[in-house]
Chains A and B, each alone.
Chain A
């Protein structure tokens, strides 16, 4: 410690009396924060096991104690500025841990509560005539699949084409308006999208309309802006030299876009689309409004209520039946299935962008 705490200027500097300031300030050795942390952990363990405090309380007290110790010691040895820096580092790390806590506990809850519910029957049967135990998510799985597929079928072409328009053709007032409105659409609350679909379909089909296709329309309203945004971002990354090289060979603009620009950006675009699908597949509110909820399988998106996975979770939680355990268990089981679907889609998106995108230096 003595070497780093040395405050005496070397004798050579005495010759120039003008420079009285120290050229380096004292610094804590690297092991000190770790030692303090270990000490705090020990105190925390002692509080938990010997004094009998709760686990959460002991952890919080130990972590706060670590901060107090570190800042005090650092303030005494290194001065106020360094102590502030240490405090900031502690705060930032705390924020990060705080952010990860819910993720960890949430995933743990879903897995540990959902796993007991999962079996072949759960995936293969609907809720038709089920009271109490049994039943499953077959109808909801199909509903989610149909509604999401229809939504994707509508949003991908429109979103893709709009993205192309904005990057390749759009200049002037209309492009600015579309950019602005896509931004607005990104901010539409999902429940408002559901109300829009209802308000639209009620005009044609009368009051109380419920159908899977309406859900697809609502999800499209949410999905289109996501697809537009990702397409736009990716097309902007395509270097202009590629387009110019193609024009120079006499290739028309539309073929340039289809044969040169799109293939270059396709990995990124597919990644964006996959993430967009993952986003809308977990939407509950709009589907609750326009798809309704039912216990039976319905393969026809243009006729009648259609159950979807998120709405299934919600309705099992809201009306678990008597006794409620079975309903709650089914809700957790469906939550696990939904989480797995969403996480898989996200992972696939990551892998696509990792393996297939052109390498950039960033």
Chain B
């Protein structure tokens, strides 16, 4: 590495080490490009036979579309339920940590919520099936008894509690920390001057939050919810453990007959699958990939748009 002074040119010398190193790290980036292309390619390649499969070869349906539709429906239903439960709670938790809790406790409390994200999904599954599901049964019976005119609670109530509603709760708990941490970050970034201006005008803390924190954090909340949605859509083992599946399309949230989800269906069927069935499962996996890709893409687009005008970066 001798440095030679080149007369009149300000350009630095290109050293061998530099060239080797920069090609190495660039190569790593290229590996990522290749990997992702590989995911799309191999899934398509292995999933394609399912689209052209004969009706007789597809278990329990006439065509791939008829096979996949109840699963897509169940996936969306469970994820939306999870989101409905998780969004208000996580906004509340994020606000509690960022604006209500004592300053000194805030980071510890945040860490506690982050711990929820560390728990492996199979353990959520065990918790859901052995702890949560039996405790939900009385509620389901009450709902089926008193509110059965609402299609969601038409009943008959499940006696095991292994319903799509229970799954929604478990998924809601699982996505809670993701959304909370995004909301918390955004809420903490609210310009101090906005907050103080609101307080100086005599606003109560809640009014300050509505005037300063929420307008600033709105896109962050939306994108956090989308990321959480993406996570809930792809969650596998917790759903496969808790849900009692019968592949129907129904609005009923509390009965024993529930639609399955794509991911859980793969986990349940794949270990014993062979032949064309494997291709069908991979094709449904591709469908899931596309759905989550779209959701995440939208979320990132919203975050990206926000980054442009916020000046936070």
Binding site for B on A (CB under 8 A): 81-82, 84-85, 87-89, 91-96, 98-100, 102-103, 105-106, 109-110, 113, 157-162, 164-166, 168-170, 174-175, 177-178, 180-193, 195-196, 198-200, 202-203, 207-208, 221, 224, 228, 250, 252-255, 257-258, 278-279, 281-285, 288-289, 292-293, 310, 313-314, 317, 328, 331-332, 335, 338-339, 342-343, 346, 350
Of B88, B205, B267, B278, the most chain A CB neighbours within 10 A belong to: B267
Q: Verify B126–A331 contact, CB threshold 8 A.
A: yes
The 10 A-B pairs of least Cβ separation, nearest first, read A189-B234, A95-B92, A282-B120, A161-B28, A187-B296, A254-B21, A285-B236, A85-B204, A88-B206, A199-B42
Specify which chain A residues have a CB less than 8 angstroms from the CB of B116 in the assembled complex.
Answer: 99, 102-103
A269 CB → nearest B CB, Å? 14
Decide if B51 is an interface residue (CB 8 Å cutoff): no
Specify which chain A residues have a CB less than 8 angstroms from the CB of B206 in the assembled complex.
Answer: 84-85, 87-89
Q: Verify A190–B38 contact, CB threshold 8 A.
A: no
In angstroms, Cα B274 to Cα A92, docked, is: 51
Q: Verify A157–B96 contact, CB threshold 8 A.
A: no
B45 CB → nearest A CB, Å? 7
Decide if B17 is an interface residue (CB 8 Å cutoff): yes
| A-contacting 9-mer, from B105-113, B146-154, B190-198, B245-253 | B105-113
Specify which chain B residues have a CB less than 8 angstroms from the CB of A89 in the assembled complex.
Answer: 100, 205-206
Q: Verify B123–A313 contact, CB threshold 8 A.
A: yes
Q: Verify B112–A288 contact, CB threshold 8 A.
A: no
Decide if B22 is an interface residue (CB 8 Å cutoff): yes
User: What 0/1 readout, one digit per residue, does chain B (163-200) give for beta carbons within 8 Å of chain A?
Assistant: 00000000001001000100000000000000000000
| With known contacts A170-B29, A199-B42, A314-B122, A189–B289 Cβ distance under 8 A | yes
Decide if B271 is an interface residue (CB 8 Å cutoff): yes
Specify which chain B residues have a CB less than 8 angstroms from the CB of A203 in the assembled complex.
Answer: 42
Q: Verify A184–B296 contact, CB threshold 8 A.
A: yes
Decide if B312 is an interface residue (CB 8 Å cutoff): no
| With known contacts A88-B205, A195-B282, A350-B111, A166–B274 Cβ distance under 8 A | no
A135 CB → nearest B CB, Å? 18
Q: Verify B271–A288 contact, CB threshold 8 A.
A: yes
Residue pairs across A and B with Cβ atoms less than 8 A apart, 24 shown, are A85-B205, A85-B206, A85-B207, A95-B89, A95-B93, A103-B112, A158-B31, A165-B29, A169-B26, A177-B33, A178-B32, A184-B297, A186-B296, A187-B231, A188-B39, A188-B289, A191-B234, A192-B285, A207-B278, A252-B1, A282-B123, A292-B271, A314-B241, A339-B119
In angstroms, Cα B271 to Cα A213, docked, is: 17
Q: Verify A106–B123 contact, CB threshold 8 A.
A: yes
B85 CB → nearest A CB, Å? 10
Decide if B95 is an interface residue (CB 8 Å cutoff): yes
A78 CB → nearest B CB, Å? 10
Q: Verify A181–B292 contact, CB threshold 8 A.
A: no
Binding site for A on B (CB under 8 A): 1, 3, 15, 17-18, 20-22, 24-29, 31-33, 35-36, 38-39, 42-43, 45-46, 88-93, 95-97, 100-101, 109, 111-113, 115-116, 118-127, 129-131, 173, 176, 180, 204-207, 209, 227, 230-231, 233-237, 240-241, 263, 266-267, 270-271, 274-275, 278, 281-282, 285, 288-289, 292-293, 295-297, 300
The A interface, classified by DSSP as helix, strand, loop or mixed, is helix
In angstroms, Cα B288 to Cα A113, docked, is: 35
In angstroms, Cα B101 to Cα A44, docked, is: 25
Q: Verify B130–A282 contact, CB threshold 8 A.
A: no
Q: Verify B28–A162 contact, CB threshold 8 A.
A: yes
Q: Verify A92–B18 contact, CB threshold 8 A.
A: no
In angstroms, Cα B176 to Cα A160, docked, is: 29
A139 CB → nearest B CB, Å? 17
Specify which chain B residues have a CB less than 8 angstroms from the CB of A253 in the assembled complex.
Answer: 18, 21-22
